[in-house]
Structure 1
Amino acid sequence: MTQPSEVPTTPDAADPRAVVAVPARVWYSRDVHVVARDLLGSYLTSRSPEGDVTVRLTEVEAYGGADDPGSHAYRGRTSRNAVMFAEPGRLYIYRHLGLHHCLNVVAQPTGSPAAVLLRAGEVVEGEDLAWERRERVGVVDSQRQLARGPARLAVCLGLDLRANGADLTEAGGATVLHRHAGSSLSAHASGPRVGVSGAGGEAHFPWRYWLTGERTVSAYRPAYRRPASVDVP
């Protein structure tokens, strides 16, 4: 049965995701950890003149607001993080270290900034185009690595800052999220977020969630910490 907060789409017998639904905005207007876990196993589709690419999400990270030192919203609203303060169900995209883009889904009620980083997934549609996009920017060493990690995921989908603020609740939009109608969460695990420095990266923030047994889940690594200085007598 379709959940009340999901809008059913037209089934396609040739599509392995035939019975799917597009979550309504109220679905995203929940606690960021609930949304993060429910995003696991969902499908994110990016449509463009080049073609469509769909990724099944296998790993995410939750980021809160003023109570989360690892969040972009920790110190308040800026021009960069403004989308986090907007209505839920939108894409928040930022450029990390000036090198690559990271995709986030805005959660919780409007004005309560929180977002879910999309860390990794499996390309299930448009694989040739995903490979082509990855090869334009670097070497692809295996299918497992195609969308394994937030930068690779963004490249596969062809998404960058131009899609910042995109509305995922529009079934006919250029970027849309689908779920199996009435689906329940598969077995998952949680642990510290990847590469987050300071207090937000410590073990008491086990806010990374992933589907167990999925080979596309990215490897954990702590943030780089400079070695303590040593006084030389």
Structure 2
Amino acid sequence: MSAFERGFYARDAESVARDLLGSVLVHRHAGVERRARIVETEAYVGVHDRASHAARGRTPRTEVMFGPPGHAYIYLVYGMHELFNVVTGAAGDAQAVLIRAAEPLAHCTGPLNGPGRLTRALGIDRSLNREDLTGGRLFLEPGPSPARMVTTTRIGVDYAGPWKEAPLRFYDADSRAVSKR
């Protein structure tokens, strides 16, 4: 298979989040290719989305979100978990998709049922922030869509006012690797 092209990411985060279910996340490092099937995502739909880091404006941390689509946005949360996001939408629009959970396919070093566990098991860290996802050492490739998809509210965004109720989390109903049902 080959990596998604830039045009795949140049769409709204909600559409990309749905379409990433079933795709394969690949990280090549030190001669090892780690692979996992994405089973859970969350969409962050722009500066108006109070749950999005972009809602606080353009900062050195969020600059990548405002850049061209198809790049990695990786940040540290709670001082211990590095989370992997895919930048989507048009340049300047600041949309992203958080990859929340996956099923291991090859060379994963632990569980992938949660965004911090996923990055740890796949060896993804902030050194890959801003990485071009259209090929190279970190990328996503097409895979079969799940037979049944669930749409629900995002996790851990209670601070976001009415945005905490937005139905922007998607998961494979038949996967046992989902972080929370």
Please name the residue that 1:126 is paired with: 107
What 5-or-longer segments of structure 1 have no aligned partner?
1-19, 132-145, 221-233
What 5-or-longer segments of structure 2 have no aligned partner?
none
1:197 deviates by 2.1
- Preserved contact between residue 44 and residue 54 of structure 1 (Cα < 8 Å): yes
Please name the residue that 1:11 is paired with: none
SS of 2:2's equivalent in the other structure is: strand
Cα distance change on mapping 1:184 and 1:99 into 2, 3 Å: closer
Question: Which protein has greater RCO, CA pairs closer than 8 Å, 6+ apart?
Answer: 2
Distance in 1 (alpha carbons) for counterparts of 2:55 and 2:68: 18
Identity %: 39
Cα distance change on mapping 1:23 and 1:50 into 2, 3 Å: closer
TM-score scaled to structure 1, two decimals? 0.74
After the TM superposition, which residues 95-114 of structure 1 pair with which residues of structure 2 at under 5 Å, given as runs? 95-114=76-95
Distance in 1 (alpha carbons) for counterparts of 2:145 and 2:23: 11
Please name the residue that 2:140 is paired with: 177
After the TM superposition, which residues 41-120 of structure 1 pair with which residues of structure 2 at under 5 Å, given as runs? 41-49=22-30, 51-120=32-101
1:201 deviates by 5.3
- The alignment's C-alpha RMSD in Å is 1.5
Higher normalized strand content (fraction of residues): 2
Please name the residue that 1:153 is paired with: 118
- Preserved contact between residue 190 and residue 209 of structure 1 (Cα < 8 Å): yes
Cα distance change on mapping 1:160 and 1:106 into 2, 3 Å: same
1:50 deviates by 5.7
Work out the number of aligned pairs and report it: 180
- Preserved contact between residue 21 and residue 145 of structure 2 (Cα < 8 Å): no
1:75 deviates by 2.2
SS of 2:104's equivalent in the other structure is: strand
TM-score scaled to structure 2, two decimals? 0.94
1:186 deviates by 3.5
